[in-house]
Structure 1
Amino acid sequence: MDKKVGKKEILLLLIIFAAAVIGYFVFQKLQSTPGAQVKVTVDGTVYGTYDLYTTGEKAKKIQIKNADGTVTNTLVIENGKADMISADCPDKLCVNQHAISSNGETIVCLPNKVVVEVEDGEEAQFDTQTK
């Protein structure tokens, strides 16, 4: 049986391809929006919120401590980027992640339960937590 590809099938494939390309570029544009601040949480509790862009300062070094006061991670904010430079966890995956600066980007240290997330600086309309 010899089946030929018709005009309708070709048109459908072109529309799907175009939609995929447009979706990709829209997603990339949304992901690359520079953030204004980073929110640090430890074990689900907000540890602090820090500006990514500060005037007059070179670098801001934040020592993140656990409940008993021991420093577990060190975060450096410089030139609009946040970078985890040290951690006392065994795998050091958070230290090996790249510096973050765009909305939605995160650095996660699972052993120490530390999450650093870039935000745009505006309060969310809905803030919920589920258990």
Structure 2
Amino acid sequence: MPQKMGKNDILLLVFLGIIFVMFFTFFYLFEVREGKNIVVTVDGEEYGKYTLSKDQNIQIKKNGKVTNEIQIKDGKASMKCANCPDKLCVKQHAISKKNETIVCLPNKVVVTVTDDNNKNDKDKNNSDLDAISK
């Protein structure tokens, strides 16, 4: 003999439905996009902007000496070598998604993936507002 659905069963199904909708809404709003460029900063100053679509090696020079070398290959950027003592930046995985970073603290080198050609991903109006504060 089949049992009838009770009030608690219906509440459980509604609760699970709400959780399901919230879960997929969260992932839809915060989807990770592939980046198009990397921006390299040294000592807080922009060193250069490079496309991820072209395979290349970029040498970062500081005081006339090469401190870091970035490799762009197959649409991903990685720190190929560095003269820092711990080499943590070299051990980080290759980056290709928007806002991913590689940081070399001893040499003050930061590599950040962006998704367009505008500096710091600002919108066409050069507004400092991001998607949350608009």
Give the TM-score band, short-chain normalised.
Answer: 0.7 to 0.9
| TM-score, normalised relative to structure 2 | 0.74
1:26 corresponds to 2:28: yes
Structure 1 portions without partners, runs of 5+: none
Q: Is the 8 A contact 2:37 2:117 kept in 1?
A: no
- Alignment partner, residue 102 of structure 2: 107
- Alignment partner, residue 79 of structure 1: 74
TM-superposed CA distance for 1:93, in Å, is: 1.2
What number of residue pairs does the alignment pair up? Answer: 118
Which whole-Å CA distance do the structure 2 matches of 1:7 and 1:96 have between them?
Answer: 50
SS at match of 2:48: strand
SS at match of 1:17: helix
Which whole-Å CA distance do the structure 1 matches of 2:83 and 2:104 have between them?
Answer: 10
For residues 29-54 of structure 1, give each alpha carbon's deviation from its aligned partner in whole angstroms, at most 9, with x where no partner exists.
x21x2211110011111000001113
SS at match of 2:90: helix
TM-superposed CA distance for 1:118, in Å, is: 0.9
Structure 2 portions without partners, runs of 5+: 1-6, 130-134
- Alignment partner, residue 13 of structure 1: 15
- Alignment partner, residue 90 of structure 1: 85
| TM-score, normalised relative to structure 1 | 0.75
- The structure whose Rg is larger is 2
